[in-house]
Amino acid sequence: MPPPSVKLDSSFAEKASPGTVPNPVLMLLALVLLMCAAPCEPASEALLLTARPSRPKEGGSMTLTCEMQATSQKLGAPVQFCFFRESQALGQGCSHSPELQLPTVWRKDSGSYWCKAKTLAIRVTWSPRIQIQVQGVPVWNVSLETQPPGGQVQKGKKLVLICLATQGTGDITFSWYKGVLGLILETKTQRSLTAKFEIPAVTDSDAENYFCTADNGYHPSISELVSVTVRSPVSRPVLTLGAPGAQAFPGDMMELRCEAQSGSPPIRYRFYHEDIILGSNSTLSGGGASFNLSLTTEHSGNYSCEADNGLGAQRSEAVMLSVTVPVEDRKELLASGVLEGLLGTLGPTVMALSLCCWLKKRLGRREAEDPGRIPPSPVPQVPNYINSAVPLQEQFVYENVNVVSGDEVYSLVYHRQQERQAAGSRNVKSVNARRDFLHVHL
């Protein structure tokens, strides 16, 4: 604003004739006005806008300061400061603070900045414009991770592919690719160093190599290949028993074969006899497993097997095996069993029989010493002569030995038989006596 001009009243000039001396009062008044004109004018204020840092990085903060530099003494009136980018006001409007804090700036925030200051007298001044260029950070060190870890996922379950960047500013565009040829699966843009792509339910066709890229406008960064393996649970296995012949005998070598028709390797097989584990075997490339068993008579019973690849174990149906005992061995086993049974249950009877045999021997000795002895309680005999036409018959004599066991009575039976001599012989007939032990059951 230019300073006000000083004008003298024309009446004074008209009254003053040429050649006359001016009125001293008027002269003094004009001098006071001239002396007072400069000090009474408001001081001209100069504004300067500065930024810290002068080259901010994308994603970082920046502080703007509006500085006043008075050509003369500073005004004592309150001042309000306003900040602008291009024609857009920044912050919450004007304030009494000469600083404005911008917490985060992006490349789109690059442009022309300036500020203004105003007083209550509605006096406004503007700062010169300054150019601020926000510096972006390129994406770097991109990697691809899987969930579940290791790229091992069960068929029908969810697979998550996570693309990560170690650094990079601004909006980043992420893309996921399948296979070495790079079949694009999905692309998304977000202001983040991490992005996810999900496959809700994987199938066998999802077993492949994957990679991802990230780009924030400078140049794309590519991850390494990650292999994904789709694993399937094992199906119910089938157990087969293989014997050398149609029948299984003790001493034969029996092969137990267990196989699951489907399931991702490695698979571990376990073999059971009546729910007691016999052994186990593993396959690294699929297929079944075998277990050999030398048979005994105790190996008859139910057999089963189990398959497990870490995604759930499956048990086969039970298979019945009967070990056949040969006839000779069966007779030996039967005789042995009968003998053991008799010795265990007929102990008293055996002792009684032993006593009877001893008594019989004693009686035999006495008859040999005394041939004329007649056994007690004889049964009437019918004589048979040598020349008789009637055939010779045996003669029986019974004798109780008073051996009783429960409801059983034991007796001695004597057999007497007359023999013919040669024709014309008059020798005394000889008598053969035989004693039998008679067991009578009451």
Reduce the DSSP state of residue 349 to 3 states and report it.
Answer: helix
* Alpha carbon separation from 66 to 94, 100, 186 (Å, rounded): 12, 9, 47
Evaluate if residue 73 carries a pLDDT over 80. no
Mean pLDDT of the chain: 75
Output the CA torsion sign for 333, 336, 340, 343: positive
Task: Note the residue count of the chain.
Answer: 442
337 or 125: whose pLDDT is higher?
125
The mean pLDDT of 96-114, rounded to a whole number, is 93
Residue 33, token pair as written in the block: 């006005």
Residue 133, token pair as written in the block: 């260029």
176 or 57: whose pLDDT is higher?
176
Evaluate if residue 310 carries a pLDDT over 60. yes
- Going by pLDDT thresholds of 50, 70 and 90, the confidence category of residue 409 is low
Least confident window among 80-94, 299-313, 343-357, 383-397: 383-397
Evaluate if residue 7 carries a pLDDT over 50. no
- Going by pLDDT thresholds of 50, 70 and 90, the confidence category of residue 322 is confident
The values of phi and psi at residue 290, to 5°, are -125, 160
The mean pLDDT of 136-162, rounded to a whole number, is 94
pLDDT, tens digit, for every residue of 264-299? 999 999 999 999 999 999 998 878 999 999 988 888
Least Cα distance to 82 among 30, 131, 124 occurs for 124
Residue 58: HSE in the Cβ half-sphere, 13 Å Cα cutoff = 22
* % of the chain surpassing 70 pLDDT: 62
359 or 255: whose pLDDT is higher?
255
CB 283 within 8 A of CB 266: yes
Q: How far apart are CA 263 and CA 137, in angstroms?
A: 48
Strand 229-231 and strand 152-154: pairing?
parallel
Q: What is the DSSP string of 265-326?
A: SPEEEEEEETTEEEEEEEESSSS-EEEEEE--GGG-EEEEEEEESSS--EEPPPEEE-BPPP
Least confident window among 243-257, 300-314, 341-355: 341-355
The mean pLDDT of 400-419, rounded to a whole number, is 50
Q: How far apart are CA 385 and CA 372, in angstroms?
A: 20
pLDDT for the residue 92: 87
pLDDT for the residue 286: 78
347-369 helix and 327-345 helix, angle to the nearest 10 degrees: 80
The mean pLDDT of 128-144, rounded to a whole number, is 93
pLDDT for the residue 21: 46
Q: How far apart are CA 220 and CA 332, in angstroms?
A: 88
